[in-house]
Amino acid sequence: MIETDILIIGAGPTGLFTVFEAGLLQLKCHIIDALPQPGGQLAELYPKKPIFDIPGYPEVLAGELVTNLMEQIKQFQPGFTLSETAETIEKLDDGTFIVTTNKGTKHHAKAVAIAGGLGTFEPRKPALENISFYEEKGVEYFVKDPELFRDKEIVIAGGGDSALDWSIFLSDVAKKVTLVHRRNEFRGALDSVEKVQELKAAGKIKLITSAEVVGIQGEHHVESITLDRGGVLEDFKTDYFIPLFGLTPKLGAIANWGLDIEKNAIKVNNALDYQTNIDGIYAIGDVNIYPGKLKLILCGFHEATLMCQSVYNRINPGKRYVLKYTTVSGVDGFDGTRKEAEKAVVKSIE
């Protein structure tokens, strides 16, 4: 059983920033996320896309923002349960919660913050008749452990950032990397496209465009795939097939928790603390809905801040917390570190 003050469901930017705001209040956090790494959409869908509306950053890459958030919360030592989805929730008589994932991992929390963005992400699967048979038998929708592909022949399909970035990364891991895309044009960061071109010229990536994977073969494990190249079918030997066509957001099992749902989002009390209809369960970020809601990262940061104040009062009834600016009070990490502004020099004037 994993014990924590706040259980955060969703490791996107809002969920990550919650750890910092909770840490200022000396509240411990643990995060559940269905993806294999923190960052949500920013890390999985467009890590190299610039974001222009983060205060203080005229422009910041999505992946860089995730890196910065992870560095910001490191001192508060959050726990992570990754590659698992929150499945069931039980409210105990003392007002605390037990949340169990699809893999049976149990978490005991004093409050639950749903920060799932647009919901859990499910991979967009190619329409191949027998693809479910080969899942985890050579078909992988996520690159959870690059070492799985060490010295193997792999085929990656897709034309976005994920397909480009993993083709580049795995070119130094796999025996052979083939990137297949149905068009000649790629919807990815320019430097990634140029890097793939360089690796193609160097013979480290085989690039096949204007082609689609239309079949998978193998008795017990993927042994080959069939490509359709303008009506011409061609079998292609491979050990792994990695289709990276993006992710489909769904509210998932959370929709069955008895929460008020509207337009596939969770209704909250935005006049106070973004609490749901169930006392002790909050929803922040893109997953919630209320009058005037804007699905912006900076709005999620604001919601997380107010929510953490509410959780502090919930956990410490009757205990008054005096909010202090971090410029004055500094930041005390759970790891024993302390960050504070330099003291002004005291000197008399004669």
Residue 70, Cα to own-chain centre: how many angstroms? 12
- 53 is written with which tokens? 């509306």
Higher pLDDT, 332 or 139: 139
pLDDT band at 211 (very low <50, low <70, confident <90, very high): very high
Concatenate the DSSP letters of all residues of 18-38 into one string: HHHHHHHTT--EEEEESSSST
Residue 331, Cα to own-chain centre: how many angstroms? 26
Concatenate the DSSP letters of all residues of 233-254 into one string: EEEEE-SEEEE---EEEE-GGG
Contact criterion met (CB below 8 Å) for 311 and 325: no
Residue 173, Cα to own-chain centre: how many angstroms? 24
Most confident of the ranges 4-8, 141-145, 186-190: 4-8
The SS3 assignment for 6 reads strand
Residue 271: burial class (beta carbons within 10 Å; 0-12, 13-18, 19+): exposed
Contact criterion met (CB below 8 Å) for 84 and 103: yes
pLDDT band at 348 (very low <50, low <70, confident <90, very high): low
Alpha-carbon gap, residue 108 to 104, rounded angstroms:
13
How high is the mean pLDDT of the chain?
Answer: 91
The model's pLDDT over 146-164, given as tens digits with 9 standing for 90+, comes to: 899 999 999 999 998 889 9
Rg of the chain over Cα atoms, rounded to whole angstroms, equals 23
* DSSP run (H or E) holding 284: none
Alpha-carbon gap, residue 174 to 149, rounded angstroms:
5
Residue 329, Cα to own-chain centre: how many angstroms? 31
DSSP assigned state of 109: E
What angle, rounded to 10 degrees, do the helices at 13-24 and 297-315 form? 40
The model's pLDDT over 94-129, given as tens digits with 9 standing for 90+, comes to: 999 999 999 999 999 999 999 987 666 678 899 998
Q: What is the pTM (predicted TM-score) of this model?
A: 0.71
Alpha-carbon gap, residue 149 to 132, rounded angstroms:
20
pLDDT greater than 90 at residue 174: yes
Lowest-pLDDT choice from 24-38, 183-197, 270-284: 183-197
279-309 core/surface letters (b: 16 or more CB in 10 A; e: else): ebbbbbbbbbbbeeeeeebebbbebbbbbbb
